[in-house]
A and B are shown apart, each in its own frame.
Chain A
Amino acid sequence: MHDAGKVIPGIIAFVLFVTLPFWSNFGKAAPKPQPEIPKEYKKCVESRDFMRREHMKLLRKWRFDVVRNNMRIYINSEGQPINMSLQNECMRCHSSKKKFCDVCHNYVSAHPYCWNCHIPPEERKGWATKEVKSLTEEASSKQPASHH
């Protein structure tokens, strides 16, 4: 090989550089997410293992049943009826989105869009912070942006 003396150290330097993030974090694990579980309630809709693994599927089923099939009561594996509602039922016990949902979702970089519309417990008091007049002026001065 021509110029092996330059090429091989070059390749080694390149590989080291590309894998730099791995080396810089080597041996340091990010702390395990610790979502805050409500103390005053012992039981969730289903078992803890099930909820950890399947809560997204459960919520998806709930939203389908409620909105499209007009079925609002979920019967859990113990035979108890539960009102299918993220905003009113889940968050009744899990009283903080930041300390519960966000903890794991941020850890795994999952960004479900539930809270674009559903009101998290932290924001129940509202958002009307700016004066409506300034918002209106701002709105009329801007061409509406395309969506999605």
Chain B
Amino acid sequence: MVIDTRVCQKHAPCEDCIHACHHIHNVPQIPYKKHEIKWIWKDEFEHAFPDTAHEYANEVLKGREFLLLCNHCEHPPCVRVCPTQATFKREDGIVMMDMHRCIGCRFCMAACPYGSRSFNWRDPRPFIKDPNPEYPTRMKGVVEKCTFCTERLAQGKLPACAEACKYGAIVVGDLADPHSEINKILREHFTLRRKVHLGTGPSVFYII
């Protein structure tokens, strides 16, 4: 996935992708911060790229908001630590969760350096205003995160965030295919990935 942060900045404070994702996947809107559930959210440069940011950073980057989500790492630490293999990496590289197996131990939350995972401290259902009846909710005591819309990919659709973006800021594609559009974009633009030095091989790229 490539996110063009210039486009996001131009159309701030657009949050169409976040709303689309959270609606489709029945992600609850819990106003109490400590119980918050998020699959895709925004944060500033120094939080998204703490190893790259410094106090002399340029003004443009300082004001820009970055879309953050699960990076679907090449070497996902969450998968390594999961004791029940509830989190696993699919052959196509998507880091997927089998909610039937999650026991809520939260090892994955400790392992993930990107904060991409949320724990259900309480029953999420009362906080889902307008549920999507075609997708399940989660229950109290499990961890959840972005699944790269595996259910939509199976139907030949794009992930909800990419589809919802009116300005085409989110591009999804096959990194393993050298002729894919995403590889072309990556060749033509300067991109950053989050916390690369940790060796997780994040698969979400940010055009700066």
Contacts and interface: CB of A to CB of B under 8 A. Distances in A.
Interface stretch (B64-72, B93-101, B168-176): B93-101
A117 B137 contact: yes
Interface string B96-120: 1011100110000000000000000
Contact of B122 (A67, A127, A144): A144
B191 interface: no
A80 interface: no
Nearest to B155: A72
The interface residues of chain A, by DSSP majority, are classed as: loop
Contact of B129 (A67, A88, A128): A128
Contacts of A70: 90, 150, 154
B131 interface: yes
Interface stretch (A2-10, A14-22, A31-39, A132-140): A132-140
B129 A117 contact: no
Nearest to B35: A139
A126 B129 contact: yes
A102 B96 CA distance: 31
The listed residue with most A CB atoms (<10 A of its CB), out of B88, B126, B141, is: B126
A144 B35 contact: yes
B154 A72 contact: yes
B96 A127 contact: no
Interface string B114-149: 000000011001111111011111111100000000
A117 B35 contact: no
A72 B140 CA distance: 27
A132 B137 CA distance: 18
Contacts, number: 76
Interface residues of B, number: 35
Contact of A119 (B34, B126, B131): B131
- Which residue among B29, B100, B140 has the maximum number of chain A CB atoms within 10 Å of its CB? B100
Contacts of A130: 126
B104 A67 contact: no
Contact of A124 (B90, B131, B141): B131
Contact of A127 (B35, B98, B128, B134): B128
17 contacts: A67-B98, A70-B150, A72-B154, A88-B134, A119-B133, A124-B131, A126-B125, A127-B128, A127-B131, A128-B128, A132-B31, A132-B127, A135-B127, A136-B30, A136-B32, A144-B34, A147-B121
Interface of B: 26, 29-32, 34-35, 88, 90, 96, 98-100, 103-104, 121-122, 125-131, 133-141, 150, 154
Interface of A: 63, 67-68, 70, 72, 87-88, 113, 116-119, 124-130, 132-133, 135-136, 139-140, 144, 147-148
